[in-house]
Amino acid sequence: MTSDGVHRMGPPQAVQKVREDVYLVQVNVSEIPGADWKRLFYDAQRGFSPEFPPRSVEMSGATLRFRSDAATVEEKLKWIDQWIERANEKEASMGVRSEEARRRREELAREQQELAQLNARWAKL
């Protein structure tokens, strides 16, 4: 696999308790996915686990969110990683990774680094 494309960054985080043993879980990804990539990500979900229906992963900026009980987070992450990989492969095969996309990824990486530095600075406030 190449370094191009969207990749999961770090472990999942529970951000909200929805109901007893059901949580809103989020994972960050390496860049804000474009419209084509999002479509490919959702297309990759067809024919998969009925316990984790298509479109149950919500994308907002460089964050993916889904609801899960604590026991199945690891399994759901494996599905998400597989869908990310498939979307990256399909997008790469379409040849949509251009110089402009590379520059956008670099700018987003700089922004993520800046945000991480701010969050580290503010961690004890």
pLDDT in tens, 77-119: 999 999 999 999 988 887 655 656 777 778 888 888 998 898 8
pLDDT at residue 54, as a whole number: 72
User: Does some domain include residue 76?
Assistant: yes
Residue 81 counted as domain residue: yes
Give the H or E element holding residue 38. Answer: helix 35-43
- Give the type of residue at 54: P
Q: How many domains does the chain have?
A: 1
CATH code of the domain covering residue 82: 3.30.310
The answer to whether position 1 is within a domain reads no
Nearest to 10 by CA among 88, 55, 62: 62
Q: Which of 89, 95, 97, 37 is nearest to 62 (CA)?
A: 37
Strands of 1-125 (E only): list them: 8-19, 22-29, 58-60, 63-68
Assigned domain for 21 exists: yes
> pTM of the full predicted structure?
0.74
Look at residue 51 and tell me if it is in a domain.
yes
118, part of any domain = no
Taking the C-alpha atoms of residue 76 and residue 39, their distance in angstroms, rounded to an integer, is 19
Count of C-beta atoms within a 10 Å radius of residue 13: 13
* Domain limits for position 20: 8-98
